Amino acid sequence: MDHFLYRGGVLHAEDVALPEIAAAVGTPFYVYSAATLTRHFRLFDEALEGLDHLVCFAMKSNSNLAVIKLLGDLGAGMDVVSGGEYARARAAGIPGSRIVFSGVGKTADEMRQALTGGVRQFNVESEPELYRLDAVAREMGRRAPIALRVNPDVDARTHEKISTGRKEDKFGIPLARARAVYAVAAELSGIEVVGVDVHIGSQLTDLQPFAAAYAKVADLVVALRDDGHDIRRVDLGGGLGIPYERSNAAPPLPTDYGAMVREIFADLDVEVEIEPGRLISGNAGLLVSQVIYVKSGEDRDFLILDAAMNDLIRPAMYGAWHDIVPVAEPAAGSDRRPYDVVGPVCESGDTFAKSRPLPPLDEGDLVAFRSAGAYGAVMASEYNSRPLIPEVLVRDDHFAVIRPRPTFDEMLSRDTIPDWL
C-alpha cells in the first residue's frame, strides 16, 4: 500500500496534488511519501516483534539525507556499502552503533573511516578483506566487530543481475569454507567475531529461497558455537520484492517474511538484523515526468517524455517494468492505446516501455512512474549532460525539495580546464 491516490481526478502524493509540485520544481522530479516510508519501515519492525532485532535500511536503494533521517528517527539502522553512504548515514544523525558496513570491496580508507566514526559491524566477504581489516584495526589500536558473509549457494530465482547467493556469484565465502575462515578470524587480534551474514539477492517474490538460505545460516550458527565462537547476531540481508506490476500476484508481505524468520531463529538466542531497501523505499516514490511530444511512427506512437534513462535506468538496465499512470485520472472505461514510452536520450535503449496501453495523452500532460523510490534517484547520472532531477518529500499537505535540480552553471563548475590547454 502507498499514499499516491487520485483525488478529485488528480494524482496526489498524500495530500499534495502532483501538478502543484510540478509547478514549483519543474519536471521531471522524484517525489517520496513520508507516510509510506514510515509504514513500510514499521511493517518490518513489527514483523520481527518478539525477536531481538534491528531493521537496517539498505541505503543503496535511496540515500537522500532526508529519507535517512526520517527512517533513523523511527529507530532504523543503516546498511551502507561505501564511504559515501557511511558519511551520509552519519550526517543524517545515525549513530555508528546502528550502521552495518557491507560490500565486497571495502578499502582500507573506508575501514578507517568507519572505525573512527563508529560501526556496528563489518560484513566481511573474503579472506583478503579479513586480513586487511585486521591490519587496519590493529594499526588503530582497535578490534573490528565482524560477521562473515556466507554464500549459501541458493538460487534466489530473481533477475540474473541482482542474484547474489549462488556459488558463481562474486559475493561471500562459500558455506563449506565458513568454519575454517571463522577459525582464522578468531586468531586475529584486530578482529572480534560477532555474527554471521547472508544476502541472496534482490526483488525476491517467493519466501522459499530465503527459508533455504536461512536454515543453512541457523545450522552454521550452531556449528560455530560448538567450535567456541560467540555468535550473537545474524544479518539476513534484504531482498523482499515489491509488486511492480499491479496486475500481477503480490509478493509475500513483511509479516509473512517475519513469521518465516521467527520460525527459524526464535530458539537460537540471536539478535536478528535485516537489510531491506526496495520494500521500504520502492513504492514510497514516484518519478513524475511531462510529455514533450507525441510522435506518430510508421506502425506505432511514441510518447516522448522529459525523463530519460539517465533519471531512471531500471527499464534500460534490467528490462524492468514500472507502472506508468497519467496524473489526470482517465475517465472510467476510457479507451487505451499502445504507446512506446521513451526519453530524449540519444540511444534506442532509452525506452521505458513498449506498446504500453495508456489512455490518450497529449503534449504537456504529466505522467507518473510508480515504484520509483528505490534504485531510481540513486542510480541516476548526468548522461547527455542532463542535470540530476530534484527529489521532493511530502508529508501530509506539505512538501519540501530535499535535493534541488542543479543549474547548468553548477554542473559546469565541477569541470576544470587545465591552464596548459
Residue 29 or 257: the one with the smaller Cβ distance to ligand LLP is 257
Torsion of CA 203, 312, 60, 84, to 10 degrees: 170
Q: Among residues 137 and 242, whose Cβ is nearest to ligand LLP? A: 242
* The three cell numbers locating residue 3: 499514499
Q: Does 62 bind ligand LLP (CB under 6 A)?
A: no
Closest CA to 239 of 83, 98, 31, 44: 44
- Residue whose CB is less far from ligand LLP, 238 or 258: 238
The secondary structure of 181-222 as a DSSP string is: HHHHHHT-TTEEEEEEE---BSSB--SHHHHHHHHHHHHHHH
**Element containing residue 340 per DSSP (H, E):** strand 337-342
Q: Give the one residue of 40, 98, 120, 199 binding ligand LLP; rule: CB under 6 A.
A: 199
Q: What is the largest CA-CA distance in the chain?
A: 71
Q: Kindly tell me which residue out of 238, 285, 315, 326 binds ligand LLP, with binding defined by CB under 6 A.
A: 238
Give the x-and-dash track for 99-118 against ligand LLP (CB under 6 A). ---x----------------
As measured in angstroms, the least distance from the Cβ of 128 to ligand LLP is 18
| Binders of ligand LLP in range 325-384 (CB under 6 A) | 374-375
Contact 149, 122 (CB under 8 A): no
- Interaction between residue 311 and ligand LLP (CB under 6 A): no
* 203 belongs to the binding site for ligand LLP (CB under 6 A): yes
Q: What is the DSSP letter of 258?
A: H
The residue from 77, 277, 326, 343 that contacts ligand LLP (CB under 6 A) is: 277
Under rule CB under 6 A, residue 276 binds ligand LLP: yes
Nearer to ligand LLP, 17 or 74 (CB): 74
Neighbours of 266 (CB within 10 A): 12
346 is catalytic: yes
Nearer to ligand LLP, 129 or 275 (CB): 275
Distance CA 150, CA 152 (A): 6
Active-site residue identified among 249, 331, 332, 346: 346
Q: In the stretch 142-171, what mask flags binding to ligand LLP with x, by CB under 6 A?
A: --------------------x---------
Could you identify the residue written with the cell 548522461?
Answer: 383
Closest CA relative to residue 43, chosen from 232, 301, 280:
280
Instruction: Indicate the length of the chain as a whole number.
Output: 421
Whose grid coordinates read 532526508?
66
Taking the complex as a whole, how short is the minimal distance between the CB of residue 203 and ligand LLP, in angstroms? 6
* Chosen residue from 25, 34, 43, 58 binding ligand LLP by CB under 6 A: 58
Q: Which of 314, 370, 386, 395 binds ligand LLP (CB under 6 A)?
A: 314
How many CA within 13 A on the CB side of residue 205? 11
Q: Residues in contact with ligand LLP, total (CB under 6 A)?
A: 21
- How many angstroms separate the CA atoms of 179 and 243, rounded? 38
User: In the structure grid, which three cell numbers stand for residue 313, read together?
Assistant: 535506468
Stretch that binds ligand LLP, among 29-37, 176-184, 237-245, 304-312 (CB under 6 A): 237-245
**Rounded distance, CA 3 to CA 77, Å?**
24
Strands 285-296 and 29-33: antiparallel
Rounded CA-CA distance 102/59 in Å is 11
Q: Which residues lie closer than 8 Å to 240 by C-beta, 6 or more apart?
A: 204, 210, 251, 252, 254, 257, 276, 278, 279
DSSP state of 271: E
Instruction: By CB under 6 A, tell whether 237 contacts ligand LLP.
Output: yes
| Stretch binding ligand LLP (CB under 6 A), from 224-232, 275-283, 387-395, 405-413 | 275-283
Query: Where does this chain touch ligand LLP (CB under 6 A) — which range of 83-91, 235-243, 259-267, 289-297?
Result: 235-243
Instruction: Tell the smallest beta-carbon distance from residue 77 to ligand LLP (Å).
Output: 12
Q: Does 79 bind ligand LLP (CB under 6 A)?
A: yes
CB 279 to ligand LLP: min, Å:
6
Where do contacts with ligand LLP occur on this chain (CB under 6 A)? 58, 60-61, 79, 102, 162, 199, 202-203, 237-239, 275-279, 314, 318, 374-375
Residues annotated as catalytic are 346
